[in-house]
Amino acid sequence: MSRVAIVTGAGSGIGAAAARRLAAHGLELVLVGRRADPLEAVCASLGGRGATIALDIGEPDAPARVIEETLARFGRIDVIVNNAAMIETGPLESFSRDSFERHYAVNVAGPFFLVAAALPSLRESDDAAVVNISSSVGSIPKPGNMLYGSTKAALEYLTRAWAYELAADRIRVNCVAPGPVDTPIHATYSDDLAATYADLARRIPLGRMGHVDDIAAWVWFLVAPESRWTTGNVIHVDGGQVLGLPEAAGG
Ligand SMILES: NC(=O)c1ccc[n+]([C@@H]2O[C@H](COP(=O)([O-])OP(=O)(O)OC[C@H]3O[C@@H](n4cnc5c(N)ncnc54)[C@H](OP(=O)(O)O)[C@@H]3O)[C@@H](O)[C@H]2O)c1
């Protein structure tokens, strides 16, 4: 049977593109997100290679439910793409305790407990791979993005820690850290998308925002059998954003 991949946040943006890419390479897909309709729409585009699970991955019982339902449907799990995330922006004093806890529940605890719950199945796979989706903001402190950025830095740390710990089980763990990509996520924190996009594009040496397929391609590379000797990496797919702006380089 084909390898089975769970993709969280698969109803839109990078997650939807990654799911389509993995399905095109023959994997069976389990699409996870809160809203059923977008998941069903993506599922319908996969040529019968998908199932959907509508839930909030930040809820304590959600990771175990995803694993149980996946095993009930497909009987195996080979790949996990931890892609779902939330972002709120603002100065330090603007964040409520609830917002702090939601960021960590969705962006860190969700991936953490999903991988933990999947371990018995991943250990049985001949070709297990975890791909975490971080952000360039996980490495580049950006005013206003501290809470979101800190969750992405945590996910990058977990990538390396899991890669080390799970190498004995031949489970590979890598991370893609995208720069700014045109997806619905920006509308969740910005009231002026045109100004936000202009500001984001200005920070990218290659001169444009990313496309979801720029990221989905790397998700597939890291899942592909050809990456079987690659683990513990954070791949920056960001048009060179982590290099910094030329005027910030000094010298
Ligand atoms: N776009 C960028 O510029 C950019 C840059 C760097 C990193 N990233 C990262 O890329 C990943 C995908 O983001 P995107 O840009 O593709 O945005 P997006 O289109 O908004 O995708 C996020 C997906 O996550 C789902 N989601 C959100 N909260 C969830 C929750 N609590 N439980 C389950 N699913 C949830 C959303 O669906 P529901 O609302 O239906 O749940 C949505 O489909 C995120 O990890 C993001 O941090 C994006």
What CATH number does the domain containing 193 carry? 3.40.50.720
Whether 151 and 133 have beta carbons less than 8 Å apart is answered as no
Phi-psi region of 4 (alpha: psi -120 to 50; beta: other; left: phi over 0): beta
Question: What spacing in Å lies between the alpha carbon of 224 and ligand 1's midpoint?
Answer: 23
**Domain housing 203:** 4-237
Residues 213, 204: Cα–Cα separation, whole Å: 17
Asked whether residue 148 is assigned to any structural domain, the reply reads yes
How much is the pLDDT for 250?
47
Rounded to the nearest whole angstrom, what is the distance from the C-alpha of residue 54 to the centroid of ligand 1?
A: 14
End-to-end, the C-alpha distance of the chain in Å comes to: 56
- The mean predicted confidence, pLDDT, of the chain is 95
Which residue of 20, 34, 218 sits with most ligand 1 atoms within 8 Å of its CB, as the best mutation to test the pocket? 34
pLDDT computed for residue 97 by the predictor: 98
Contact between residue 152 and residue 103 where contact means Cβ atoms under 8 Å apart? no
Q: Tokens 């990771």 correspond to what residue? A: 63
145 within ligand 1 shell (Cβ under 6 A)? no
Count of domains forming the chain: 1
Query: For ligand 1, atom 30, which residue shows the shortest CA distance?
Result: 56
Residue 248 lies in a domain: no
- Which tokens sit at 149? 């950025």
CA distance 203 to 81: 27
| 17-76 tens-digit pLDDT | 999 999 999 999 999 999 999 999 999 999 888 999 999 999 999 999 999 999 999 999
Q: How far is the CA of 85 from the centre of ligand 1 (A)?
A: 5
C-alpha 185: how far from its chain's center?
13
Residue 251: inside a domain, yes or no? no
Please choose from 21, 87, 185 the residue to mutate so as to test ligand 1's pocket, defined by most ligand atoms within 8 A of CB: 185
Does 141 score more than 50 pLDDT?
yes
Q: Measured between alpha carbons, how far is 12 from 10 in angstroms, rounded to an integer?
A: 6
Instruction: Check if the beta carbon of residue 245 is closer than 8 Å to that of residue 142.
Output: no
| Burial class (CB within 10 angstroms; exposed 0-12, middle 13-18, buried 19+) of 180 | buried
Full-model pTM: 0.96
Is 250 a domain residue? no
Is residue 244 a part of any domain in this protein? no
Residue 61 lies in a domain: yes
Domain membership of residue 103 (yes or no) is: yes
Residues 66-92, mean pLDDT to the nearest whole number: 97
% of residues, the chain, pLDDT over 90: 87
Tell me which residues are annotated as active site. 148
242 is a domain residue:
no
Cβ(163) – ligand 1 distance below 6 Å: no
Report whether 189 contacts 180 (CB < 8 A).
no
Cα 9 to averaged position of ligand 1 atoms, centre (Å): 5
